[in-house]
Amino acid sequence: MFSPARAALPATLTLVAAISLHAQQPVAQSDSAATDPLDRVTSYTLQITADPNGDTRTTDDWFYMGFVHGIPHQFVHMGFNSRQSTSRGTAPFRGEPLPTPGVYRDAHGLRYHSLAWGAESLAMAIDSAKKRAAKTSKLTPAEARLAAIPDAQNHPSSADKARVRRGRLNLFDPATRELLNDYARAHVTAWSAPTPDRATGPLINYWGLDNEWEGTHDYGSQARAAFATWLRAAYDNNITALNEAWTTDLPPGSAPARHATFEAAANSSDIPSPTDYASHPAAWLDWINFQTEHFTATLAELARTMHDTDPLKRGVAHKSTQQTIEMPNTNRVRTFDNEQFAELIRPISGGLLGADMYGSGDRQAYELNYLYNTIRPLDRSPGYGVYLPETNNHNGPGHAFAATTWRMLANGLKAADFFTLGFVGAKDDWDSFGFHNSKTGEPRDKLHYAARWAHMVHRTEAFWKNAIPAEGTPRIALLLPRSDILLAEKSPRSTSRWGYPRNHRWLVYRWLREQGYWVDVIPSTKLHTDYLAHYDALALIGAEHLTPAHADAITHYVRDGGILIADTRPGHYDNHHRVRDQLAPLLGVNIAPVGASLAKPASLTQLSINSGHAKQTLLADTSVTASATTARVLATGLSEKNRRPVAYLNTLPPPPPPPPSTTGAAAPNLDVGRSTLDVGRSGRRPAVLYFPFELGTLILQKPAEAMSAFLLDGPTADREEYALQQGELAISRWLGDRLREAGLTPAVAADKKLADTGNLRVEQPFIDKSGNLALVITTRADSQQRPLPPGTITLPLPGGPWETAWWVPAEDDSLTAIPVRATTDGRYKVTLPAIPSAGVLYLFGNQNHAPVLSIPAIASTARAADGHTAKLPPGVPFPLTIELINTTPAPLPPGNLRAQALADWQISPAATTDTPELAPGQSHKVTFTITPPADVALVKPDWLYPLVANWSPAHSNTPSAIITANVVMDIPAKDALLVLTDNAHYPATYPYLQHTGATYRYSTPAPGTPAAAAISDPAQRDKNVTPDTALTNGFNNKTGQRNASGPYSASYATKNITVDFDLKAPRSVRRVVVNAGPGEMLPMRLAVSTSDNGETFTPQLTQLPPAGAASAAVREYTLILPAAVSARHVRLAVEWPLAGGTLGEVEIWGN
């Protein structure tokens, strides 16, 4: 899930950019032609433009989307345009600058998230200095300074346990923080510096810090001194208040611990380790809140340094992880607080809060929605969202990937990098999470969905970048209470250390969503009257700890007409674990613990509940008993001895009417689509729906289904929960019954056939400033595909009136009109088609939206792994239909519709055609004939080939609409080219590998002569690498990068080399692929000759790679012979401008 192996990245990112197979003409000599337009990111989006020098620029409406690792050439063809880069090095700590990363000169116009690994680098420098200090006293001033820095310390109970490298950094030491800030400044300075071909430096949009750095506890003397200061402020300099709180940590009958001073408390043995959370809850909460505040503030300080150093003031997006959202075990050992960080980083974030997130379905939506509400400001203004620098649905199936990824857009996603593109021969995470089958190289089904997701976003990119949840719609806020998570026991539903709390909130989220409620997951920073006013109800599940200010905000919210949903002991403690019963006046019940005092953890009792559905009995855990005062009982348990109430409703007096306006004028409505009612709560009496048990522990009684919806071992990491179990709908239906009794009507009502699936997820509508709406509708992403049948839903749609919606499925690039019918209660009825996985329902407003393009499913007798992408034979024409749809409120003027394919693909009768004027809602279809190359040397079997359509008004050359579809080639096995050089990174299972026993030797410089010493093959001697095998011995790089430094490349202290490959038998040779090795010295001439006997060679092809600064982008060269040549021996001659060139893998292809 979060593998430490992924942290081992190169010091700087080296781009692998290929000269296109399709662009290389079969001629005897060739200059490297200009990059095909479709090899540039500007061809797939309207929001990236190109400068005359080849630089790209992003508009304010650009949506960042990329892949972590992989061949850029490949993912650019799928519509992705971004990637990450990293600096790691000790130079700044020696007073030297970081090198300027010239490798950013790429041929594709990619945009970057640039990460400064300052913590990793500083830890390396300190380690090195301390090792030298242990051996010698002759240190440089820089080394002496580093050697003197104190390390962070473990808890006394684990004093001898080794800490991870950056975990040894003492962030309470001012010198350490100063050095980290120095590195941040050095990184921004180096990577903003002009390059030979670019006045503004690399094409960076966002900065970042160390990968997944979330801190560790430090029990050293500097930390404890700072803790004493923190305690003094937290308890208003009242040591008695601290002693009151910490006394609750002691076992019953123990004498109270009395600390005379805050310093004594901070240095006492009471300071807990993460394993002491249950025995010392008050001290634990104080300690971890102190540690997280300090670490999080340090991260924000480093981010501020990067932002302030940058002359362009680009945003800073940190790569945290989902492990610090709601997983108790990992939360307790890390010291990062998303909520505090969002508050600190918001002004310099560029609008993004980052977190690496791997999950699927409801859980992914739940956690993403939480992060979105964390970064949103209190005024809910647009311009903010979540960036997932690593994301995937683990190694789950493509349909679940679609249902997950489409939903992410409707839960605040504004930028993403998928991990990872993958490749044939990949290992570890690059295999498990790769979008390619590592054994065969075939794209997995999810890669096709990823491409369609990118194209779908590009079609309406400005909308997805700027849209926010529509106001005036019914929704529930579900609090994620951090203090309770830090004290929570892990759920028995999962044995993993990445499990969730026993009182499982995201399952409660699932049940509410299953019943048609729209739910936002909010942080404690949004327990503010202004923010809560947008919700019909607030759910406090396992929220026993509240600050006085938060309890006051909740009380005000309820008294003002809100509905509170709560379980167990809401607000029973304050943030220091002192009993305060802050919400007791609202509940209408008296609460008592089961078998313990109120200040102590209570024992659990199991309740039996009649669900009222499908004869299912539910079980739940409770640690309390409740008796009604003013509340009425809604439901009781089944126990014969004690039919205890299991649900109460307390109705409170209605709120007073608002004061009359003093100006006599109505305030302007600044929220597009907002209801004239006070977000749906006016006229409803405030109430509390109370459950005297842990709502998230509900399960079915049946022993075989005790875990309800949980697999013991699923297709994703961490035993995730996506299999349907018979009867599980009874849980959500019982809960939905109780909410309806409290006056909460679901936002979405589905017909019986749809509702009975439990599989429908209709996300809340997103809206832009022009009133355009989009609703994402998906399955819940079960491991086994369960398509949704056609059916009807009824729901509120802000704005309007609406008559037509447009359905965009995840399985192709089409748009289909769907009628929308208003109902008498102010809602709308929509009849949906069958939904295999996901889709978007667009409603284009009457103010403004550009026209859109549609490409219906491309006809084909064969389909790719996803079952939908057309798989087409080389050389066979096929029709491509493109539909222009006028979604504007005015007539669309005449224009030009253009189809684009790669250079060797033919389009007829012409690539551009005129389009007539179109009335609002009218469309115009054009069918082009596309012919892919017949020559199999010009196509690959595992490549997604792009077909791009754009439309421009007749008076403009700037496109106003764009869409892309991808197809793959169906190449017969007998015709396919095979790799003939036994390159070690290709597994035996690769279908395009022909084992030949090939070897090679150098003929220039001549072997046995003094000049031959110029050849270092491998470049770095390694006991695992046989001499003169580096060119075929694989790239030994987990990320798939073929030109990384190390023993798997060769270097040459000469300008010219000639290497002869012996294929051991005559072969039909057609293609030679040459990878440059590490470094800036790149080839200026490549030549291929062939021979039958190894003595006399016939020249076949000479290629001149691009010259100048842009050549740094091209590090893989594909030489395609004009025709197949029968040969046993293949000679490759390489010339560099100067001595010092390198080579990586060389592949010879034929059959």
Confidence (pLDDT) at 6: 28
| 684 shares its domain with 582 | yes
Q: What is the CATH number of the domain that holds 812?
A: 2.60.40.1180
Do 690 and 793 fall within a single domain? Answer: no
* Structure token digits, residue 77: 């063809």
- Residue at 942 is within a domain: yes
Domain-located, residue 507: yes
> Quick check: is 96 in a domain?
no
Whether the CA torsion 275, 281, 282, 288 is positive or negative: it is positive
Together in a domain, 582 and 686: yes
Residues 509 and 592 in one domain: yes
Query: Could you tell me what percent of the chain has a pLDDT over 70?
Result: 89
Residue (of 531, 181, 519) closest to 339 by Cα position: 531
3-state secondary structure 736-772: HHHHHHCCCCCCCEECHHHHCCCCCEECCCEECCCCC
Place of tokens 């408390």: 265
Q: What is the pLDDT of residues 1040-1076, one digit of tens each?
A: 777 766 778 999 999 999 999 999 999 999 999 999 9
Weakest-pLDDT range from 497-511, 658-672, 1019-1033: 658-672
The model carries a pTM of: 0.94
pLDDT tens across 125-148, in order? 999 999 999 999 899 999 999 999
As a whole number, mean pLDDT of residues 853-867 equals 98
Total number of domains in the chain:
4
Q: Is the pLDDT of residue 28 over 50?
A: no
DSSP secondary structure of 694-715: -GGG-EES-GGGTTTT--SS-S
Give the list of residues 6+ apart from residue 901 with CB closer than 8 angstroms, or none.
38, 907, 930, 932, 945, 946, 947, 948
Residue 776 has pLDDT above 90, yes or no: yes
Q: What is the pLDDT of residues 84-120, one digit of tens each?
A: 999 999 999 998 888 876 544 577 889 999 999 999 9
Per-residue pLDDT at 1109 exceeds 90:
no
Which H/E stretch holds residue 558? helix 548-559
Classify residue 522: in a domain, yes or no.
yes
What does each C-alpha distance from 882 to 385, 459, 897 come to in angstroms? 33, 13, 9
257 in a structural domain: no
> Do residues 731 and 758 share a domain?
no
Of 741, 773, 798, which residue sits at a domain end? 741
Of 969, 997, 1024, the residue that ends a domain is: 969
Distances (CA, A) of 977 to 426, 972, 999, 1068, 1120: 21, 10, 19, 9, 12
pLDDT at 402 exceeding the cut of 60: yes
Q: What is the domain-level CATH number for residue 878? A: 2.60.40.10
Mean pLDDT for all residues in the chain:
90
Q: Are residues 484 and 581 located together in one domain of the fold?
A: yes
Q: Are residues 717 and 776 in the same domain?
A: no
**Domain enclosing residue 616, as ranges:** 477-657+674-741
**pLDDT band at 1022, cuts 50/70/90?**
confident
Helices and strands (H and E) in the chain: how many: 22, 54
Torsion of CA 81, 84, 85, 88, to 10 degrees: 180
Cis peptide upstream of residue 668 (ω within 30 degrees of 0):
no
d(CA 388, CA 325): 14
pLDDT(703) > 60? no
Residue 638 lies in a domain: yes
Same domain for 717 and 573: yes
pLDDT tens digits, one per residue of 625-664: 999 999 999 999 986 656 899 999 999 999 888 777 555 4
User: Are 955 and 931 members of one domain?
Assistant: yes
Q: Can you give the CATH number for the domain in which 490 is found?
A: 3.40.50.880
From 851, 884, 903, the end of a domain falls on 851
Residue 284 has pLDDT above 60, yes or no: yes
Residues 935 and 795 in one domain: no
Do the beta carbons of residue 1078 and residue 1140 sit within 8 Å? Answer: no
Same domain flag for 820 and 922: no
In the chain, the percentage of residues whose pLDDT exceeds 90 is 78
DSSP codes of every residue in 5-25: GGG---SS----EEPPTTT--
DSSP 1024-1082: TS-TT-TTTS----TT--TT-SSTTSEEESSSEEEEEEEEEEEEEEEEEEEEE-SSS--
985: domain CATH number? 2.60.120.260
Question: For 272, phi and psi rounded to 5 degrees?
Answer: -85, 160
Give a yes or no: residue 617 inside a domain. yes
Q: Do both 842 and 859 map to the same domain?
A: no
Q: Indicate the pLDDT class of residue 598, thresholds 50, 70 and 90.
A: very low
Q: Which residues share a beta bridge with 825?
A: none
- Is the confidence at residue 328, as pLDDT, over 90? yes
Residue 180, C-beta contacts closer than 8 angstroms, at least 6 positions apart: 118, 119, 122, 169, 298, 302
The answer to whether residue 36 is domain-embedded is no
